[in-house]
Amino acid sequence: MGDMNSKVVLKAEGIVKVYPNGVVANKDVNLEIVAGEIHALIGENGAGKSTLMKILFGMEQPEKGKIYLNGQEVTLDSPKKAINLGIGMVHQHFMLVESLTIAENIVLGKEPKKNGFFLDRREMLKISSEVAEKYNFSINVEEKIENVSVGVKQETEILKALVRGAKILILDEPTAVLTPQETKNLFEELRNLKKQGHTIIFISHKLNEIMEICDRVTIMRHGVTVETKEVKDTSPAEISSKMVGRDVVLHIDKLPAKKGELCLEAKDLCYTNKLGKMMLDHVSFKLYAGEIVSVAGVEGNGQSELAEILSGMKEKNEGEILIENKRMQDYSPKAFREKGVVYIPEDRMSVGSAERMSIRDNIFACKVDQYLKKNVFLDESRMEKDAKKWIEDFQVLCFSSKQKVNMLSGGNIQKVVAARELTEDFKIIIAEQPTRGIDAGTSELIRRKLIEFRDAGAAVLLISADLNEVFELSDKCVVMWNGKINAYFEDTAELTEEELGYYMLGVKNQSKEEVEKIWR
Amino acid sequence: MAMNMNAKVDRYNRYFSIIRFVVAVFIAFFISFVIMAFSTEHPFSALLNLFIGPFTTLRRFSTVLETAIPLTFAGLSVCVMFKARQFNLASEGGFFLGALTSAIVAIYMPLPPVLSIILALFLAGIVGSLVCGIPGICKVKWNSSELVLSLMLNYVALYIGTFIFNQVAKDPSSAYSASFPFREGVNLGNLIPKTRLHYGIFLVAVFVVFTWQFIYKTKWGMKLRIVGENLKFGKYVGIGTTGIIMMSQLLGGFIAGVGGGAEMLGMYSRFQWSALPGYGFDGVVLNILAKENPAYIPIAAFAVAYLRIGADYMYKKSDVASEIVAIIEALVIVLVAANAFLEKYHHKVITRVTAGDKGGKE
C-alpha cells in the first residue's frame, strides 16, 4: 500500500467534535484513507471512533476541521450527501425492515418504478441479484429478513450500500455478532470487494481480525488519532499498548476452580415469545458455587431469554428453578435478588441504569431499604461514604457521585452497573455480555472481578458471544442453539474455537446423554 | 484536568437553564408588547399596569397570594403523579370533588370548627385520591391510557359532583346556584384584615416541604423517581413498580383533594362551582415552568398568579383585553418547554468551555 502511487481518497484533518453535554468526543483527529485499502480503526470505547465515523457519514457535524474527498474539500451535512458522494456505512445495529425481503431492503428508498408509480418487482429482483452476484454473495434475495441469519443481514446491509454506489464502505464492528465461520465468510467478501476497487474502513475491537484482514491501522485514544501504521509492520501487543496507553494483560491468570455446593438448578425451562417462537425449549442445568459456567451461542438462540428468566425480568412458561435446593415460588426480580441472584444485563442503558439519575442513585437503586434512617428517610451520608468507596473500587471515572450517568462513557456506565450488582449480598451472578462494546481496561476489570468472586465462592453464569471471554473466564461451557443446550463441555481449556463454532451453528450436536452430564 | 472540566460544564449547564428561562420570559413579553401595541394606543401604560398593578394595594397583592395557593396545590399534585411518568390529569376532578366534599362536611358536620376543618380537608384528600387512583389502577391493571381516561374522568367527576350537590347541598332559597352556608367558624380564617388571605397559605407551605422531602429524601420518593425515570430499570432493581405507581397517583390525588378543600374553606362560605375550576391543567403548566421540582412550584405559581392579577388590573385600567395575558403565559411556556431553544448558542459556549481540554471523553 505504501508505494508512491497510492492515492488518498478520504482525508480528515483536525476534526473536533463536542457533544451538547460537553463530551469532547474528537479532539484532534487526522485520518488518511488510501484507495483500495482495508483500513482498520481501533480504540477503546469512548476513544471517538464511532463519532468520527458518524462525521464521515454526515450524521454529525464537526465543530472544526476539514474533510477532503479525492483531494477536494467537502461538507458532509447529511448521510444523503455522503451516500451521493459514494460513502456507505453499515451500522452496528442493522437498519433493515424485518418483514420485507432482502431484495426489497436493498432497493428501499430508490425502488425501480413502473409508469413512475408502481414498484417494478422484476427490475428490483434483477438489480439485487445482479449486485449479489457481482460481489460473490451467495444469498437468496427473495428471502425475508426475519428468516435469515445475522450474517446474511449484514450482507444485505453491505449490498444496500453498494447499490447506492458506495466506493468507500464504513463497517462499524461488523464481526461483533458473527460466528467464526460467518466472520471468515465476511472476510472473503471484503477481500473480494477490495479487489474490485472498493475502499473499506473497518472498525473493530478485535486485534486478531485486524491483523488478518487489514492493510493499515489507525489507533485512536481519548479522541485523538495516535498513529497510523502498516499492519505488517506492527504487532497486536504494540497496537494494544498504544490503544490503552499502557500494556494490557491479554490473558488473565486464574486458579483452578473449587467446586462447592449446588447453588442453582434449572429444570425444563421453556419460554415462548410474543411472536409464538419457542425461544427456550426445555433447558436444564446446574450451577455450583465456585465455578464459572459460560453459555456460548450465536445471538438469538435463547441466551438472553435464559438470562432474563433467571433474573425475573421475563416469566417462564414451563419448568422450575431451585435455589439452594429450595423451589422458587415467586419469580419476580425482587424475589431473585432476595435469594442472592444478581444480574448484569446486556442492555446497560435501558435496563441496567436510569441514565438521567446520578451515579449514586443508580448504585443504591436496589439498596434503598438498607440505607435508611428511622426506616423512612434516606441515609445520605452513609450512601455517600459507600458510594465513594465503590466508585474507587470499581474505578468509575467521574468528578462526583452526583454526576449523571449519561455523562459517562459506555465503559464507565458498565462499571456503575457492576458496582451496584457486585456489592449486593449475593451467591449467584448472572452476567449477560458483561464486556460487550466496552474498552479493554474496563473489560479486564470486570473479568477480574468475576474471577475474584468465583474464588470467593460465588456461582457465575456467563452469557457471552465473545469467544475470547468464554475461553478466558469459564470453567465449564454450554452452547445454546435454537433454544436448546446442544453441547456441554466439562473443561473449557480443552476446547477449540472451531469446535465451538460448529456447535454454535448447530452443524454438530451432542447427544442427549452427553448434554445431560451437566446434571451430575 | 478533565474532571474539573466536567464539573465546569455541569455548572455552566445550570447557569444556562436560568439564562434560558429569563430570555424566554423576555421574548414572550416583547411579543406580547407588539401585540398590545396593535390593540391599544397606550401600550406602555398598559404594560406598566400589568407589572405594577399587583403591587399597588395590599388587597391586590394578597389576591396574588390567594390565587397562588390553589395553583401550588395543583402543581404539587401533578408533580407527584408526573414523577412516576404518569400523565394523569385527574387532579382537576380531584380538586373539584375535594372542594365539594369539604363543603358538605362544613355544612353538616356538628363538630367543633377545628375538628370539622381537619375532617373536611382529610375527607377531601381521600376523595381526591379515589379520583386520581382510578386512571392509575386502570393503567397498572389493563395498561389503559391514563391521559385519555383521566381527561374523560374529569367530566364524570364534574357531573357526579353536580348531582350530589343538587341532591344534598343546594340551598333552594339562594338567589344563585349555591349550597347552604357553611357552619359558623368552619373556614380557614382571615390572616390580614380587609383581604381574603387565609391560613391555607401555611397549609400549602407545609405541603411544599412535605412533598419535596417525600420525593427527594424518603425511600418511597427514591423508588418513585427510579420508576419514573426508567420503568424497566425499576423492575430490574426489584422495586414493586405497580405499587409505587399507585402510591404516587393516590398521593397526588390526595394533595389535589386537600387543595380543593382548602380553596373552598378559605375563599368561600358556600359551594358554588358549576364547572371545573381548571386548576388541574394549571398544575401541568406549573410543572413545565418548575421543571417538575416541588421546590420551584410555589415560585411558578406565584409568577402565574401575579400575571393573572396584573392582567386583571390592566384590563380594568386600560383598553387591553385580559386575554393578552393568556397569550403571554402561553408564549413563556412554549419557549421554556422548547428544549432546543438557544441550543446553538449553548453548544457554542460548551465548545469554548471545553476547548483546550486534554482529557477526552472521560
pLDDT at B356: 47
- Quote the CA–CA distance of B270 and A123 in Å, as a whole number: 79
Q: Is residue A250 part of a domain?
A: no
For residue A142, what are the contacts with CB-CB under 8 A and spacing of at least 6?
A: A101, A102, A103, A125
Residue B312 has pLDDT above 80, yes or no: yes
Mean pLDDT of chain B: 88
Tell me which residue of A80, A86, A94, A84 sits closest to A155, measured CA to CA.
A94
Does one domain contain both A464 and A332?
Answer: yes
Mean of pLDDT values over A42-57: 84
pLDDT digits (tens, 9 = 90+) for B212-257: 999 999 999 999 999 999 999 999 999 999 999 999 999 999 999 9
Does one domain contain both A163 and A23?
Answer: yes
Residues of A (213-272) whose Cβ lies below 8 Å from B: 221-224
Q: Which comes out higher in pLDDT, residue B98 or B319?
A: B98
pLDDT band at B361 (very low <50, low <70, confident <90, very high): very low
> What is the dihedral sign for C-alpha A221, A223, A225, A226?
negative
- Quote the CA–CA distance of A430 and A416 in Å, as a whole number: 16
Mean of pLDDT values over A113-130: 89
Mean pLDDT of chain A: 88
pLDDT at A442: 84
pLDDT at A512: 82
Kindly give the residue spans of alpha helices, DSSP state H, lying in chain B.
2-39, 43-52, 58-83, 91-108, 113-142, 146-164, 200-217, 219-229, 231-236, 241-267, 279-289, 297-317, 323-337, 343-354
- Quote the CA–CA distance of A300 and A295 in Å, as a whole number: 13
pLDDT at B336: 72
Q: Is residue A2 part of a domain?
A: no
Q: Is residue B22 part of a domain?
A: no
For residue A16, what are the contacts with CB-CB under 8 A and spacing of at least 6?
A: A24, A26, A27, A28, A29, A62, A63, A64, A65, B351
Mean of pLDDT values over A188-213: 89
> Model-level pTM?
0.78
Of A217, A244, A271, the residue that ends a domain is: A244
B16 vs chain A: nearest CA distance in angstroms?
12
Does one domain contain both A315 and A393?
Answer: no
Neighbouring-strand partners of residue A489: A477
- Quote the CA–CA distance of B254 and B128 in Å, as a whole number: 5
- What is the DSSP-derived secondary structure letter of residue A60? S
pLDDT at B112: 93
- Quote the CA–CA distance of B64 and B298 in Å, as a whole number: 12
pLDDT band at A204 (very low <50, low <70, confident <90, very high): confident
φ, ψ of residue A12 in degrees (nearest 5) = -115, 135
Mean of pLDDT values over A53-76: 92
Mean of pLDDT values over A241-247: 67
- Quote the CA–CA distance of A337 and A342 in Å, as a whole number: 6
Q: Is residue B322 part of a domain?
A: no
Mean of pLDDT values over B193-202: 91
Q: Which chain B residues have any C-beta within 8 angstroms of a chain A C-beta?
A: 3-7, 9-10, 12-13, 217-219, 222-223, 225-226, 229-230, 232-240, 343, 346-347, 350-351, 353-354, 357-362
Instruction: Give how far Cα A162 sits from Cα of A85, A120, B116, B154, Å.
Output: 12, 20, 79, 57
Neighbouring-strand partners of residue B167: none
Q: Residue count of chain A, please give it.
A: 520
The residue segments making up the domain with residue A173 are 8-244
Count of beta carbons in the 10 Å neighbourhood of residue B231: 18
pLDDT band at A271 (very low <50, low <70, confident <90, very high): very high
Percent of chain A at pLDDT exceeding 90: 53
Q: Is residue A253 part of a domain?
A: no
Could you give the number of structural domains in chain B? 1
Percent of chain B at pLDDT exceeding 90: 59
Mean of pLDDT values over B286-304: 92
Contacts of B5 in chain A (CB under 8 A): 22
**Contact state of A24 with B222 under an 8 Å Cβ cutoff:** no
pLDDT band at B307 (very low <50, low <70, confident <90, very high): confident
Least confident of A84-88, A132-136, A271-275, A458-462: A271-275
Q: Is residue B311 part of a domain?
A: no
Q: Which residue of B has its CA nearest to A339?
A: B238
Q: Is residue A249 part of a domain?
A: no
Grid coordinates representing A381 are 451520608
pLDDT digits (tens, 9 = 90+) for A371-410: 999 999 999 999 999 999 999 999 998 888 998 898 887 7
pLDDT at A244: 67
Residue B359 has pLDDT above 60, yes or no: no
Least confident of A52-56, B17-21, B224-228, B238-242: B17-21
Does one domain contain both A461 and A513?
Answer: yes
Residue A435 has pLDDT above 60, yes or no: yes
pLDDT at B308: 87
Of A183, A215, A244, the residue that ends a domain is: A244
Label each residue of A234-285 as H, E or C. Answer: CCHHHHHHHHHCCCCCCCCCCCCCCCCCEEEEEEEEEEECCCCCEEEEEEEE
Instruction: Give how far Cα B185 sits from Cα of A237, B111, B112, B181, B259, Å.
Output: 86, 11, 9, 11, 19
pLDDT at B265: 96
Contacts of A223 in chain B (CB under 8 A): 360-361
The residue segments making up the domain with residue B85 are 64-303
Does one domain contain both A233 and A202?
Answer: yes
Which helix (H) or strand (E) covers residue A32, if one does? Answer: strand A24-34
pLDDT band at B355 (very low <50, low <70, confident <90, very high): low
Q: Which comes out higher in pLDDT, residue B66 or A204?
A: B66
CA R_g for chain A: 24
Furthest C-alpha separation in chain B: 81
Of A424, A453, A488, the residue that ends a domain is: A424
- Quote the CA–CA distance of A148 and A139 in Å, as a whole number: 10
Residue A277 has pLDDT above 80, yes or no: no
Q: Is residue A351 part of a domain?
A: yes
- Quote the CA–CA distance of A87 and A159 in Å, as a whole number: 13
Could you give the number of structural domains in chain A? 3
Residue A1 has pLDDT above 50, yes or no: no
Which helix (H) or strand (E) covers residue A447, if one does? Answer: helix A440-455
**Contact state of B357 with A354 under an 8 Å Cβ cutoff:** no
Tell me which residue of A86, A92, A62 sits closest to A172, measured CA to CA.
A92
Grid coordinates representing A311 are 433474573
Count of beta carbons in the 10 Å neighbourhood of residue A288: 18
ipTM of this model?
A: 0.84
**Contact state of A377 with B219 under an 8 Å Cβ cutoff:** yes
Does one domain contain both A193 and A206?
Answer: yes
Q: Which of A17, A49, A309, A368 to mutate to test the interface with B (most CBs of B within 10 A)?
A: A368
> CA-based angle A90:A466:A510, to the nearest 5?
115
**Contact state of A311 with B236 under an 8 Å Cβ cutoff:** yes
Residue A517 has pLDDT above 80, yes or no: no
Contacts of B346 in chain A (CB under 8 A): 20
* CATH number of A487's domain: 3.40.50.300
Residue B75 has pLDDT above 70, yes or no: yes
Does one domain contain both A215 and A288?
Answer: no
pLDDT at A496: 80
Count of CB contacts below 8 A, A vs B? Answer: 129
Percent of chain B at pLDDT exceeding 70: 94
